[in-house]
Amino acid sequence: MLDTIYFPCIDKIFGMLNFVFISGATVLFSKYFLNINSVTKSTKRYFIIQLIVALLLILVNFFVTNLELYSEIVHSLVFFYAIYLFIIILYHLIFNLHHLTMRYFIRYLLFLLMQGNIIVIMFYYTFNKSPPVYFLSSIFVVVIYLEIELLMKSMGNDIKIKNQVNLDSFDQNIIEKLLNGKVYKEISYELNIPVNTLKKRISNIYYHYGVDSRNELILKILNHSNRL
């Protein structure tokens, strides 16, 4: 009985659990590595969707012998959401390319590689076919990701890619207000710009300095000042 119910879809179950793991890693990494709020929110939703799909697939697998239609539906949902997240990350990469550090540039590429891997696998599963085995090894993408991060940290400061832009006086004004502990609403009011625009410029400042938060920015500027 178990042979006829469980084993025909065991590859899909392990595949879905693998995607859940990768999505969880993406949720954890996106906030601290990419510093993109829209990606963080999307990956959280993406993680929840994949977790629900994986659990449903496992539960239904024990009670239904014909899973082809069900499998195609759930995998197609994840397939289209994976494309949606891929487009978001690609958009932010293109939009911020002119001022990205090498570290962030590599992070974007690896996120795109992970998402592309999931898209290909889901494409196969949507049509009830088994993908090539090397596509199921997406965990190695995360391992390579972490190895490159360690390598970049061992090199010290970030390496700037071409077309790195300098911060203008307006950005310097924002930095000064950040250092003085002012919140977004205060800065937005004093500089007479929308909060969303301010957040984008602050993200650009973080990219420029190779930091992920206000505290890291303050520490980096203070360390630089102490060397002078």
What's 179's domain CATH number?
1.10.10.10
Which residues are CB-neighbours of 150 under 8 A, at least 6 positions away? none
Higher pLDDT, 184 or 220: 184
Give the residue from 89, 121, 154 where a domain finishes: 154
Q: Of 33-47, 77-91, 101-115, 178-192, where does the model show the most confidence?
A: 178-192
The count of domains in the chain is 2
Q: Does residue 160 fall inside a structural domain?
A: no
- 214 is in which domain, residue-wise? 169-227
Whether residues 119 and 202 fall in one domain: no
DSSP 96: H
Q: Does residue 188 fall inside a structural domain?
A: yes
Q: Does residue 163 fall inside a structural domain?
A: no
Q: Does residue 82 fall inside a structural domain?
A: yes
Whether residues 116 and 201 fall in one domain: no
The pLDDT of residue 27 is above 50:
yes
Q: What is the 3-state secondary structure (H, E, C) of 84-110?
A: HHHHHHHHHHHHHHHHCEHHHHHHHHH
Higher pLDDT, 149 or 8: 149
Which residues are CB-neighbours of 213 under 8 A, at least 6 positions away? 206
Give the residue from 120, 154, 188 where a domain finishes: 154
Helix 68-96 to helix 102-126 angle (10° resolution) is: 160
Cα 116-138-46 angle, rounded to 5 deg:
60
Whether residues 91 and 192 fall in one domain: no
| 8 burial type by CB count under 10 A (0-12 exposed, 13-18 middle, 19+ buried) | middle
CA-wise closest residue to 101 among 150, 175, 157, 154: 157
Higher pLDDT, 143 or 96: 96
Q: Does residue 123 fall inside a structural domain?
A: yes
The pLDDT of residue 118 is above 70:
yes
Q: Among the listed ranges 66-80, 166-180, 192-206, which one has the minimum average pLDDT value?
A: 66-80
What beta strand segments (E) does 106-178 contain? Answer: none
Whether residues 138 and 219 fall in one domain: no
Q: Does residue 51 fall inside a structural domain?
A: yes
| 12 burial type by CB count under 10 A (0-12 exposed, 13-18 middle, 19+ buried) | buried
Contact 62, 48 (CB under 8 A): no
Q: Does residue 91 fall inside a structural domain?
A: yes
Query: How far apart are the C-alpha atoms of 25 and 141, rounded to whole Å?
Result: 11
Whether residues 86 and 191 fall in one domain: no
Average pLDDT, the chain: 68
The pLDDT score that the predictor gives to residue 123 is 82
Give the residue from 154, 177, 205 where a domain finishes: 154
| 69 burial type by CB count under 10 A (0-12 exposed, 13-18 middle, 19+ buried) | exposed
Q: Does residue 162 fall inside a structural domain?
A: no
